[in-house]
Amino acid sequence: MKRILSVLICFALLAISLCGCGYEYHDLNLRAKYTRAFEGTEITVYNWGEYISDGADGTIDVNREFEKLTGIKVNYLTFESNETMYSQVKNGGVKYDIIIPSDYMIQRLIKENELQKIDTSKLSNYDLIDEQYKSVYFDKKNEYTVPYNVGMVGIIYNPKLVGEVEHSWNVLWDKKYKDKVLNFNNPRDAFMSAQMLLGLDLNSTNLKDWDKAANKLKKGKANLQSYVMDEVYGKMETGEAAIAPYYAGDYLTMVETNPDLKFFYPKEGTNIFIDSICIPKNAKNVEAAMLYIDFLLEPDIATANAEYIGYASPNTAVINNEDYYYYQNEILYPSEENMPKVQYYHDIDDKIRIYYETLWVQVKLY
Amino acid sequence: MKLLSRLYIALILFFLYAPVAVMIVFSFNSSSSVWVFEGFSTKWYEGLVYDTTMLTALEHTLIVAVLSALISTVLGTAAAVGILAIRKKVASSLVMSMTNIPMMNADIVTGISLMLLFIFMGNLLGLNESLGFITVLAAHITFNLPYVILSVMPKLRQTDANLVDAAMDLGCTPFKAFFKVILPSISTGIATGAIMAFTLSLDDFVISYFTCGKYQTLPIVIYNMTKKSVTPDTYALSTIIFFVVFLLLIFYNMLQSKSEKQASARKGRAK
Amino acid sequence: MNKKSFGNQLLAAPHVVWSVLFIVVPLFIMLYFAFTNADGGFTLENIQQIGLYKKAFGISILYAAIATVITLLLAYPMAYFMTKVNISSQRMLMMIVMIPMWMNFLIRTYSWITILANTGLINTFLGKLGIEPLKLINTPGAVILGMVYDFIPYMILPIYSVMSKIDKSLLEASEDLGSNAFNKFRRVILPLSRPGIISGITMVFVPSVSTFYISQKLGGNKTMLVGDVIEYFFNAGPDYYNVASAISMVLMIMILVCMVIMNRFSDDDSEGVII
């Protein structure tokens, strides 16, 4: 009898899962041709959380549209930091067909021979990528990557709670804002906030520089409310916290919910990043992955993604589209005089990296 | 005194259920916030039907829970019979301590050691992917086993060994004797073990987190959601699960008290 | 007879094979990682590095100990009072205590944020009364609260199940012999409920000391418990598997030592008091 009960739970729950799906497909104008030759196969995509248009509120569900178009099943998984992604790719627990890491992590993956070359001549939409995002330092010959998004880090604040603030990284350390300030919960970005304020090189190979930044972070810790990643949305939208550094594109999403929020790029400079699409060396379904990349570059899809995610797009079909919601947005596409001083992260040698990743634990334990 | 104790029980129950109540209330929020209640709506429940990630995860969770409960119940019941038959005290206590390790150990240690094993074996066998359905299932069976064994064993001890001999004297094969005599007398222990295994597996997060690869179960998906801004849909799903469990337990409770009444009635008649 | 018992013994074989493969071997692999470097050579470096994380061990033990004590203090009267109501209410109460355990603990923990946040329910309520908001979330107190909340059923149930089996005639006897309520409690109920207390303490302390979610959500990521350190390193990539294994190993030994100490207290072999 009791066993029957547990089976009953299953049926009750399964019944919920079986009652249909009500997504309405969109009419897409497609530039490339999509074969159904790979129907029935599947690809595994590993992307950042909240980093694709997913059909919420009548938007395009990119993965579902792709599945319908090609018959390829998309296994979509998300990560929350480059380091987590790296760890998963490296340990071989799961084989991915598409990953979308950031610049410095791509540099490291290439160095460790974890990526395979992408024949961009086979991508009908590759010509849409803006020239300024090609041949960047981590992939000078455009062999391994296709740019997906571009972004910069800035500081979001709520003038209703703290008034106007100094446009500097120093606000994170300012005692006036004690318990109202957040910082990144990942070593690289958190260290960046201190490095910028101290005027240090983000890619320093001098251990002492990292110590200095760590000490600065330790000093600022008492001021912080918490270290966050995507929890920042809830905290800034509700007024739980007043000041937080985060990615510019995410500010645009938050301000939709809480119009009080404002944003600036700190005067000391900030980090710029490119997240690019890559195919891991041991991908299982490369040809289907190529179709997927081409699909992501489609003007309709890229625009839907750019509007959903709110990051700057490297796709000219998006940037030059006057109907694009963020067309010529000053935060995403600052004009030259408003462009902050920016620095890319580079992959630093293993010794330094292990040093600062371990140092980060010490900051947290301080 | 009586009033005081009632009050205390009420307070503790309030403590236990306050977050549950918060969850249920906010699952009906009309805005996407789990902080500010803005109005009543059932849209998050309707929206669940479209959430393929969550539904796939639910399916994974149920498959793993059912299979791991079944397999660990079979393995565990057999093991309980076997362990009790072991004559050497040292050997049987050795097996028992080994069995108890996952129950005693911290989940994170169990999870990590299993992950290291799977990755190690994956590399050894040159597998394409070392983590997935099989590994999460194996992990769940492993942590379920001690609970099944510990539920079956006391019942088995209570069973009179002479009954088996009697059955065999009357011409039963040992196999038949087991099914005719032992099994009925330990069936409640087996059922308790199976239910416990099922629920443990349903709720496990830590061990699955390290062993599931891309075969993500519901707790993993919920974990990923709480890393972002949680929206009321997670609460909506949990509310549904809560009520399903709630109703089932009440149903189960009713059945049990009914069967107890019958049992005592029978006893009364026998007297 | 011997033949039959040998046949029965064989029934344990699949389980033994399974346990060796999935319990013993993994622990040895962890041990191997703890004592080797990235290239597979023997080293004690990982063990030496653990000193860097002694604070994580310290606060984990401290928080878990405080949480366990609070849980015990809250749960003991609860279990006692539960035995005082009539039988059918007892069963009902036990069920009500168990139901939250069936709910995902991530969600249960998360809903505390809604209650404790600066803009959360308590502070909104206080604000309406004109009281300054309290700092509740992102504090050690919130982390300990999370532990108490998540694991309190594991304390109530074993204590209750032991107490409900105490022979009523013993209590009557002690009354007849002139014990007052306090002495009855101290001389009879407390000693007899000890096995339940012991198993409750273990079942609360072990998950508390090794948790890695509660501190992240309710503590605002501002400190790291041992579980958080282990999780961080395993997520940072294979470079850290060695040091993370070493930390896990120490955590395991620590828990083992605690268990041995706890078992000292329960002299009678009350085998497996599980819910």
Q: What pLDDT, in 10s, does the model give residues A286-308? A: 999 999 999 999 999 999 999 99
DSSP A61: B
Q: What pLDDT, in 10s, does the model give residues B28-55? A: 998 887 777 888 999 888 888 878 888 8
C-alpha C38/C-alpha A357 separation (Å) is 16
Q: Which residue has the higher pLDDT, A104 or B127?
A: A104
Minimal CA separation from B2 to chain A, in Å: 35
Highest mean pLDDT among B48-57, B112-121, C83-92 belongs to B112-121
Residue B271's pLDDT band, with cuts at 50, 70 and 90, is very low
- Across B57-83, average pLDDT: 94
Dump the DSSP string for A275-336.
Answer: EEEBEETT-S-HHHHHHHHHHHHSHHHHHHHHHHH-PBP-BHHHHT-TTSTTTT-TTTS--G
Rounded to a whole number of angstroms, the CA Rg of chain B reads 23
C-alpha B201/C-alpha B66 separation (Å) is 9
Chain B residue numbers with beta carbons less than 8 Å from the beta carbon of A257 are 32
Query: 3-state DSSP call for residue A348?
Result: coil
Chain C residue numbers with beta carbons less than 8 Å from the beta carbon of A347 are none
C-alpha A153/C-alpha A245 separation (Å) is 7
Domain C55-240+258-265 has CATH 1.10.3720.10: yes
- Across C235-258, average pLDDT: 93
Residue A96's pLDDT band, with cuts at 50, 70 and 90, is very high
pLDDT of the residue at C273: 38
Which A residues 175-234 touch B at CB under 8 Å? 229-231, 233-234
C-alpha B6/C-alpha C86 separation (Å) is 12
Across the interface, whether the CB atoms of C25 and B203 are under 8 A apart is answered no
Residue C3's pLDDT band, with cuts at 50, 70 and 90, is low
Q: What pLDDT, in 10s, does the model give residues A240-281? A: 999 999 999 999 999 999 999 999 999 999 999 999 999 999
In the numeric block, the tokens 């099994």 are attached to: B183
- Beta carbons within 8 Å of A302's beta carbon, 6+ residues apart: A128, A296, A313, A315, A317, A318
- Choice among A27-31, B259-263, C157-161 with the minimum mean pLDDT: B259-263
Q: What pLDDT, in 10s, does the model give residues A203-222? A: 999 999 999 999 999 999 99
C-alpha B113/C-alpha C210 separation (Å) is 14
Minimal CA separation from B243 to chain A, in Å: 11
Chain C residue numbers with beta carbons less than 8 Å from the beta carbon of A87 are 234-238
Residue B161's pLDDT band, with cuts at 50, 70 and 90, is confident
Across the interface, whether the CB atoms of C235 and A83 are under 8 A apart is answered yes
Token output for A309: 């995610």
C-alpha A112/C-alpha B67 separation (Å) is 39
Token output for C198: 């012991």
Residue B128's pLDDT band, with cuts at 50, 70 and 90, is confident
Residue B217's pLDDT band, with cuts at 50, 70 and 90, is very high
Across the interface, whether the CB atoms of C212 and B75 are under 8 A apart is answered no
C129: exposed, middle or buried (C-beta count within 10 Å: 0-12, 13-18, 19+)? exposed
What b/e string do you get for C240-272 counting C-beta neighbours within 10 Å, with b at 16 or more? bbbbbbbbbbbbbebbeebbeeeeeebeeeeeb
Rounded to a whole number of angstroms, the CA Rg of chain C reads 23
Q: How far is CA B234 from CA B113, C25, C152, C242, in A?
A: 30, 37, 24, 36
C-alpha C107/C-alpha B232 separation (Å) is 11
pLDDT of the residue at A100: 97
Minimal CA separation from C264 to chain B, in Å: 16
Residue A9's pLDDT band, with cuts at 50, 70 and 90, is low
> Domains of chain B: which residue ranges?
65-218, 228-257
C-alpha B237/C-alpha B234 separation (Å) is 5
Computed over every residue of chain A, the mean pLDDT equals 92
Angle at A78 between CA B214 and CA A263, to 5 degrees: 170
pLDDT of the residue at A13: 52
Token output for A20: 């249909």
pLDDT of C196 higher than 70: yes
Q: How far is CA B246 from CA B196, B240, C96, C100, C235, in A?
A: 16, 10, 9, 10, 36
Q: What pLDDT, in 10s, does the model give residues C17-75? A: 999 999 999 999 999 999 999 888 999 999 999 999 999 999 999 999 999 999 999 99
Token output for C25: 């071997």
Chain A residue numbers with beta carbons less than 8 Å from the beta carbon of B62 are 10, 13-14
Q: What pLDDT, in 10s, does the model give residues B164-204? A: 788 888 888 877 887 888 888 888 889 889 988 988 898 89
pLDDT of C2 higher than 60: no
Query: Which subunits count as partners of chain B given 3+ CB pairs below 8 Å?
Result: A, C
Chain A residue numbers with beta carbons less than 8 Å from the beta carbon of C55 are 365
Task: Give the other-Cβ count within 10 Å of B259's Cβ.
Answer: 11
- Choice among B196-205, B207-216, B247-256, C107-116 with the minimum mean pLDDT: B247-256
Query: Which subunits count as partners of chain A given 3+ CB pairs below 8 Å?
Result: B, C
pLDDT of A8 higher than 60: no
- Across C209-222, average pLDDT: 93
- Across A76-91, average pLDDT: 90
pLDDT of the residue at A20: 42
Task: Select from A183, A167, A194 the least CA-distant residue to A224.
Answer: A183
- Beta carbons within 8 Å of B220's beta carbon, 6+ residues apart: B57, B205, B208, B209, B212
- Across A220-246, average pLDDT: 94
Q: B54, B236 in Cβ contact below 8 A?
A: no
In the numeric block, the tokens 């809560």 are attached to: B242
Token output for A123: 């991508």
Residues β-bridged to residue A183: A227
Q: What pLDDT, in 10s, does the model give residues A311-337? A: 999 999 999 999 999 999 999 999 999
Query: Which subunits count as partners of chain C given 3+ CB pairs below 8 Å?
Result: A, B
Q: Which residue has the higher pLDDT, C245 or A50?
A: C245
Task: Select from A304, A60, A56 the least CA-distant residue to B43.
Answer: A56
Domains defined for chain A, CATH in brackets: 31-145+278-332 (3.40.190.10), 152-272+340-365 (3.40.190.10)
- Beta-sheet pairing, A262-264 with A146-157: antiparallel
Percent composition of chain A: helix, strand, coil (DSSP 3-state, to 5): 45, 20, 40
Minimal CA separation from B235 to chain C, in Å: 8
Q: Which of A1, A64, A233 sits opposite B255 (nearest CB)?
A: A1
- Across B106-135, average pLDDT: 92
Confidence (pTM): 0.91
Q: A232, A244 in Cβ contact below 8 A?
A: yes
Minimal CA separation from A274 to chain B, in Å: 21
Q: A62, A305 in Cβ contact below 8 A?
A: yes
Is A21 in CB contact (< 8 Å) with chain B?
Answer: yes
Token output for B121: 């074996």
Chain A residue numbers with beta carbons less than 8 Å from the beta carbon of C236 are 83, 87, 357
What b/e string do you get for C91-125 counting C-beta neighbours within 10 Å, with b at 16 or more? ebbbebbbbbbbbbbbbbbbbbbbbbbbbbbbbee
What share of chain C has pLDDT > 70, as a percent? 94
pLDDT of B257 higher than 80: no
Task: Select from C180, C65, C153 the least CA-distant residue to B199.
Answer: C153
Closest alpha carbon within chain B to A12: B244
pLDDT of the residue at B270: 54
Question: Which of A109, A226, A233, A362 to mutate to test binding with chain C, by most C CBs within 10 Å of its CB?
Answer: A226
pLDDT of the residue at B231: 80
So what's the ipTM on this one? 0.89
Token output for B50: 């479209």
Chain C residue numbers with beta carbons less than 8 Å from the beta carbon of A227 are 220-222
pLDDT of the residue at B240: 87
Computed over every residue of chain B, the mean pLDDT equals 87
Minimal CA separation from C191 to chain B, in Å: 21
The CATH homologous superfamily to which domain B65-218 belongs is MetI-like (1.10.3720.10)
Angle at C41 between CA C35 and CA C45, to 5 degrees: 45
Is C29 in CB contact (< 8 Å) with chain A?
Answer: no
Q: Mutual orientation of helices C25-34 and C241-265 as an angle, nearest 10°?
A: 120
pLDDT of C271 higher than 70: no
Amino acid symbol at A265:
Y
Residue A154's pLDDT band, with cuts at 50, 70 and 90, is very high
End-to-end alpha carbon distance in chain C: 36
